[in-house]
């Protein structure tokens, strides 16, 4: 039977986490789930898959029991920009879904991974660097759900002894999945436009500095945290992790080293710009480094080179 379940498996993180988990534990040992069905060639569909709405607690509990799940990676969420447009949906998915996962995991005795985000911080948080433990007063609904989620996870760990762990992901850059409605998704879109159109109009200002991370580092951090010795985890939930910080202008300049004719323009979206300005510029990830040995492998230069190579190959494959 399948011991690992992933919710939101067709999303940006799930598209790379599911294959990584299957490579490590075996294809048949990882059940991918999502509200949608997905295209047949989606990377998360090369093994067991079920459509599942995490806001349906009865259905979720049934799947956990049927497959005898021992670990849940709960990725299903409505991201920042979409959450501002559809706040009721965001609350239902981000909070009710999380509650259902934690409660079902408590009942069946499963380990849980729950990602948080730099969106959990706000304008009053120190930005350079943002400490592990600091004031968290976000001004977006997505951020509110992430702070509430961190607290709910802590409650389940303290009250019920549930082994729940999490990371505060920076903006993630991936060649596998399309952007998912996040404020840092310019850092994904820009590569697609550079390779396909030769130009890009960015919705954030050129000097907007945000923490970013290449997806292979994020996946590795997720797996390393879930395997870490619990006795060494003082925080357990919502670790800051960092790789590098960049502005749109700096990322564009790095791409132009490989694509000299690439042009970038700016048409600032006030909503997403305001969200970005409330978030950290850099992160203090010393707790993750000390408690479970976190170290990033990709900087801006390395990510850009690898991203262009991998995405170019995917585009050529689609066109063939």
Distance CA 273, CA 183 (A): 8
Interval 280-310: pLDDT, tens: 999 999 999 999 999 999 999 999 999 999 9
How much of the chain, in percent, has pLDDT values that exceed 70?
Answer: 98
Interval 29-53: pLDDT, tens: 999 999 988 777 888 888 999 999 9
Question: Taking the domain 4-170+214-240, which CATH number applies?
Answer: 3.40.50.720
Distance CA 205, CA 2 (A): 46
Residues 247-257, mean pLDDT to the nearest whole number: 98
> What's the CATH class of domain 171-213+244-281+298-319?
alpha beta
Distance CA 45, CA 5 (A): 13
4-170+214-240 and 171-213+244-281+298-319 in the same fold: no
Q: What is this structure's pTM?
A: 0.94
Interval 54-72: pLDDT, tens: 999 999 999 999 999 999 9
Write down the domain spans for the chain. Answer: 4-170+214-240, 171-213+244-281+298-319
Interval 133-142: pLDDT, tens: 999 999 999 9
Residue 181 pLDDT level (bands cut at 50, 70, 90): low
φ, ψ at 68 (rounded to 5°): 55, 50
Interval 210-239: pLDDT, tens: 999 999 999 999 999 999 999 999 998 899
Distance CA 231, CA 187 (A): 37
Tokens (6 digits) for 120 = 């959990």
Please, what is the angle between helix 248-256 and helix 300-319, to 10°? 60
Residue spans of beta strands (DSSP E) within the chain: 4-7, 30-34, 49-51, 71-74, 111-113, 116-117, 164-165, 167-169, 171-173, 199-202, 210-214, 239-240, 244-246, 263-266
**C-alpha distances in Å from residue 305, one per residue of 215, 232, 254, 309:** 14, 35, 9, 6
Catalytic residues: 142
> For residues 231-244, b (16+ Cβ closer than 10 Å) or e, as one string?
eebebbbbbbbbbb
């Amino acid at each position: 039977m399948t011991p690992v379940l992933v919710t939101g498996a067709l999303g940006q993180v799930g598209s790379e986490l599911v294959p990584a988990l299957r490579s490590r534990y075996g294809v048949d040992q990882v059940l991918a789930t999502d509200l949608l069905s997905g295209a047949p060639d989606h990377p998360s569909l090369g093994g067991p898959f079920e459509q599942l709405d995490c806001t349906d607690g009865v259905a979720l509990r049934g799947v956990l029991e049927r497959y005898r799940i021992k670990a849940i990676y709960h990725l299903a969420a409505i991201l920042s920009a979409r959450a501002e447009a559809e706040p009721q949906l965001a609350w239902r998915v981000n909070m009710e879904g999380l509650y259902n996962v934690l409660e079902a995991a408590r009942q069946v005795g499963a380990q849980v991974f729950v990602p948080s985000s730099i969106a959990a911080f706000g304008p009053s948080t120190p930005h350079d660097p943002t400490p592990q433990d600091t004031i968290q007063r976000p001004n977006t609904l997505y951020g509110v759900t992430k702070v509430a989620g961190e607290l709910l996870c802590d409650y389940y760990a303290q009250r019920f002894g549930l082994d729940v762990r999490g990371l505060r992901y920076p903006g993630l850059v991936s060649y596998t999945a399309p952007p998912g409605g996040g404020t840092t998704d310019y850092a994904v879109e820009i590569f697609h436009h550079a390779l396909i159109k030769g130009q890009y109009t960015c919705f954030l200002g050129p000097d907007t500095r945000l923490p970013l991370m290449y997806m292979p580092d994020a996946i590795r951090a997720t797996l390393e945290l879930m395997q870490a010795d619990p006795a060494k985890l003082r925080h357990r939930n919502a670790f800051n992790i960092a790789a590098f910080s960049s502005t749109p202008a700096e990322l564009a300049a790095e791409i132009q080293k490989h694509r000299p004719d690439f042009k970038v323009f700016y048409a600032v979206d006030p909503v997403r710009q305001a969200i970005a300005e409330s978030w950290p510029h850099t992160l203090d990830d010393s707790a993750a480094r000390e408690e479970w040995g976190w170290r990033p492998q990709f900087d801006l230069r390395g990510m850009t080179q690898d991203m262009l190579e991998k995405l170019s190959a995917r585009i050529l494959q689609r066109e063939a």
